[in-house]
């Protein structure tokens, strides 16, 4: 078995999906969570000067989605066929587009507010809610296509993990996040109820985002 | 051989890397380029209401990078080992982050200027040039790691194609784009000099972006 070391900040952020893949697959890994000086020390040694970075037997893999896809392929959470893998990749890219779109709200909440968006209520109404409604529409279409309750037919994938972990943050900041979308709330809970994931959620460090 | 139909607008944009993969692999495909009414007609039938979409034997795959990765895996331009594939995916995601970062300049040039960035010279100086210098630094590190002249050791990959096609647009709008970075200009030309690609560049429709 390779040795895995996953470097990130304290929080969940763009690293949590990969941590959850280790939990789902019940594969041990070193969950390195850095703060302050330690981050500054490590930064110049990282491929793009940023985290997350996964070290596999000493080789560094950067970029959150690339890391998660690598682990998902190894552990069986990336889609079964070539076409299914492409569909999963596309779902995750669509989620990333959504994540870029909601920056005025999301980064406002983590104290990295983009200029012009100091009014968080305005960011919620003008950016988050319309983006959510559009994105939830896509998720509903995907869920309606199969009867298994996840986004693609083969079962839970790394795309479900990015999406539902992001929902945890947004729901934590905006308690009506699922209002009017009961099937999405049910999907969110369904993912978190997977026994291996439930066990991880119960024991992981508790962070806001 | 599967039947491939690739749907996009007239331009290169986020679709060109996939067209170039077909050219590199010398695999025939239907290059469907839509304008105006035809786009409006097709939109509601697409997974996320947007293009590019690849149709493989009738199945729709959305999202530009997911499409390119799917083709690259099939045709041998996605990296050889699992780790190399993850490195290639990470390079492409890093490029996408760069692409998001330079929106004030890029979208200004294609008449979709984001609010507050009407002054294109300001967008060039304050956004494009610093983002370019940082991104070119990453590319130089990657090129220095191997002696083959592409970003990863196995040869040209889909990441090279997204990056160099984007350079074509930026260089077209800003003729000093490569100034001070001769090794990046040489890399750009090296990719375009691959015989199959050169033949495609000579015969493809000529568009600004």
What gap in Å lies between CA A102 and CA A111, rounded to an integer?
14
Report pLDDT for A73: 98
Q: Is the ipTM of this complex over 0.90?
A: yes
Q: In this complex, is the C-beta atom of A44 within 8 Å of any C-beta atom belonging to chain B?
A: no
pLDDT in tens, A57-97: 999 999 999 999 999 999 999 999 999 999 999 999 999 99
Q: pLDDT > 70: what percent of chain A?
A: 100
B contacts of A82 (beta carbons < 8 Å): 70, 73-74
For A167, B63, B97, the CA distances from B48, given in Å and listed in that order, are 20, 9, 21
Task: Using CA atoms of B59, A86, B85, A72 in order, give the dihedral in degrees to the nearest 10.
Answer: -140
Report pLDDT for B145: 94
- Asked whether the predicted pLDDT for residue A203 surpasses 90, the reply is yes
Q: In this complex, is the C-beta atom of A76 within 8 Å of any C-beta atom belonging to chain B?
A: no
Interface contact B66-A48, CB threshold 8 A = no
Q: In this complex, is the C-beta atom of B125 within 8 Å of any C-beta atom belonging to chain A?
A: no
Domain boundaries, chain B: 4-75+197-203, 82-194
Domain spanning B4-75+197-203, CATH architecture: 3-Layer(aba) Sandwich (3.40)
The CATH code for residues B82-194 is 1.20.1050.10
Report pLDDT for B120: 95
Across residues A181-198, what is the average pLDDT? 98
pLDDT in tens, A104-136: 999 999 989 988 899 999 999 999 999 999 999
For A36, A45, B82, the CA distances from A8, given in Å and listed in that order, are 12, 14, 22
Q: In this complex, is the C-beta atom of A48 within 8 Å of any C-beta atom belonging to chain B?
A: yes
Q: Which residues of chain B have pLDDT under 50?
A: none
Which chain A residue lies closest to B88 (C-alpha atoms)? A66
Same fold, B4-75+197-203 and B82-194: no
- What are the b/e assignments for A179-194, b being 16+ CB within 10 Å? eebeebeebbebbbeb
* Chosen from A66, A131, A134 to mutate, greatest number of chain B CBs within 10 A: A66
Report pLDDT for A115: 87
Q: How many CB atoms are closer than 10 A to CB A72? A: 27
- Cα four-point dihedral sign B105, B108, B110, B114: positive
For A70, A143, A195, B114, B129, the CA distances from A187, given in Å and listed in that order, are 24, 8, 15, 35, 43
Report pLDDT for A147: 87
pLDDT in tens, A83-94: 999 999 999 999
Q: pLDDT > 90: what percent of chain A?
A: 96
Across the interface, which of A48, A70, A83 has its CB nearest the CB of B138?
A: A48
Which chain B residue lies closest to A98 (C-alpha atoms)? B48
Interface contact B62-A141, CB threshold 8 A = no
């Amino acid at each position: 078995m390779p040795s895995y070391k996953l470097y990130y900040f304290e929080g969940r952020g763009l690293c949590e999906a990969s941590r959850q893949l280790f939990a789902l697959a019940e594969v041990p890994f070193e969950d390195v969570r850095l703060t302050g000086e330690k981050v500054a020390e490590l930064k110049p040694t990282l491929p793009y000067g940023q985290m997350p970075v996964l070290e596999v037997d000493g080789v560094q893999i950067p970029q959150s989605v690339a890391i998660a896809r690598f682990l998902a392929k190894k552990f069986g959470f990336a889609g079964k066929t070539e076409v299914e893998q492409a569909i999963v990749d596309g779902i995750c890219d669509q989620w990333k587009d959504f994540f870029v779109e909601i920056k005025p709200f999301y980064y406002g909440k983590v104290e990295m507010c983009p200029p012009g968006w100091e009014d968080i209520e305005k960011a919620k109404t003008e950016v988050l809610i319309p983006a959510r409604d559009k994105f939830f529409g896509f998720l509903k279409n995907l869920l309606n296509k199969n009867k298994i309750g996840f986004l693609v037919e083969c079962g839970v994938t790394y795309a479900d993990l990015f999406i539902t972990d992001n929902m945890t943050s947004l729901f934590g900041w905006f308690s009506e996040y699922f209002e009017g979308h009961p099937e999405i709330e049910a999907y969110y809970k369904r993912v978190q109820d997977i026994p291996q994931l439930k066990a991880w959620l119960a024991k992981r460090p508790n962070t806001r985002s």
